[in-house]
Amino acid sequence: VGVGVPLRLSSIEPEDTGPELLEVIGRHAPFVRPHLHLSLQTGADRLLALMGRRYAAADYRDLVARARARIPGFALTTDVIAGLPTETEDEHRATLAFLREVHPSRVHVFTYTPRPGTRAARLPQVPHAERKRRTHELIALAAQLAEARVRPLLGRRTTVLVERVRSGVGYGHTPDYYEVELTGEGLVAGREAEVVVEAVEGYTLRARTARPVDLKV
């Protein structure tokens, strides 16, 4: 057993996230971070099939439920695309409802942009103004979901991997992938620190250090 830098998995396709992986993450947390970025794209099954995705909304919902059951403190982040070709208003609403249901801690929202020469570009397109409106609605919901996740962290202690230090201020992420700006003593890049969360600004936590932490592998 030694001191090590924790591992965080990058974006993984939902269909490639099996029970064995969830078991490994849960068994080795916090060395393996209890966070997965599972791209959703849309909560509408017709559009998922049109995109060639190998999962339906129900599969994604089940995966998130299994991850939360097996990984203590599990955090979900995801991507969605607003205004996919042929997307109806009902399908847009289905995506909003699905996000409320699975409640990720952060949602990256993208506006669909046709790429010349692709099959998607030849499909009927959602008008540009409508794509923008749907984008704004998704961004607003993402902010609401994020705030509901971070507000309970005020005043609490957590750990942060300090990724860089600049002018006496540290920057890093919690195990569940919240961005943190740190002040205090003993800030060393590449080291864990226990912190107290003092404020929330958008998606970023403001915190002060309490003590360094040696993460055991």
30: containing domain: 14-152
In this predicted structure, what is the pLDDT of residue 11? 84
Residues 133 and 178 in one domain: no
Q: Return the closest-CA partner of residue 150 out of 140, 142, 161.
A: 142
Express each pLDDT in 130-164 by its tens digit: 999 999 999 999 999 999 999 899 999 999 999 99
Q: Return the closest-CA partner of residue 199 out of 177, 185, 179.
A: 179
What tokens appear for 66 in the block? 């299994």
In this predicted structure, what is the pLDDT of residue 4? 63
Residues 99 and 81 in one domain: yes
CATH number of domain containing 205: 2.40.50.140
Residue 36 included in any domain: yes
Calpha distance 194→188 (Å, rounded) = 12
Residues 148 and 74 in one domain: yes
Token pair 């955090």: residue: 75
Question: Can you tell me the mean pLDDT for 78-86?
Answer: 98
Give pTM, 2 decimals: 0.89
